[in-house]
Structure 1
């Protein structure tokens, strides 16, 4: 078990229903050239194969002597953390933002690792989105951006990169 830093503990103590302490990102993608109509479903299936996350994505909170600590979640459930969803018709950006707004307003479950990812299909113009949410005690905004960029490639031919939770943490 690893004790959280005082700053990370503060994010947990300050969190309230009206004041969530998570960071999130919404990425909008276009289908690759030649992709069939089942592309996003196939992508979701391949992402689900990464069902054993690396730290900190496999860590959940516990309290000991009044302090929060991280411990490995022995009952990790990928279906709770990764969700494949479809927008209602007509699939405009308005419907996407409505879904993301509803998801963003929910606090993360402190009995589980403090993150979730939503792969969202059904967006007009052969587009799909990825909405990710991570508690600020797990990762700060800059680190989250770096993790997200590590899981993407500027090369359109490079595909099948693992999701952020599958990368081994970089040594400091």
Structure 2
């Protein structure tokens, strides 16, 4: 086939190709803190970053030849990245459902927003906080509510012994404590 009729990918594809997946029919749950953080990022992109880049691109374009103008080429690429991120955040905010985990403060049952400490095996103790897909950071002990560990923990209680399915087999875990942030 002639190469002139094939679509080349230049890496500028929509971010939706790399979105964390939301299960079909499920809502995109998020805490009030996560929702506020995403709104702040969106507003910063719209009010601060995008106007600065547009100004730089305008200045670079006024310098003449655009084909070899690094400022212009980089600025246009950065503008596409910002616009793509704005579209992504706008779409995500439209489908988010804000859930305040403080509503369950003092409860022993595990729901969205809980910080759960569990024993894996006999001696390995781990603590995770169950958060939304768009706010979970595994480096900080946060897991998304659709992750295998969160799905295993949800709706169970302190003291329950559960079966966690992992790639290496089934592991027994025991819920040691359940905590929620206070309001």
| TM-score greater than 0.5 by the shorter chain | no
Higher relative contact order (Cα pairs below 8 Å, separated by 6+ residues): 1
**TM-score (normalised: structure 1):** 0.26
Max Rg structure: 2
The structure with the greater share of residues assigned to strand is 1
The structure with the greater share of residues assigned to helix is 2
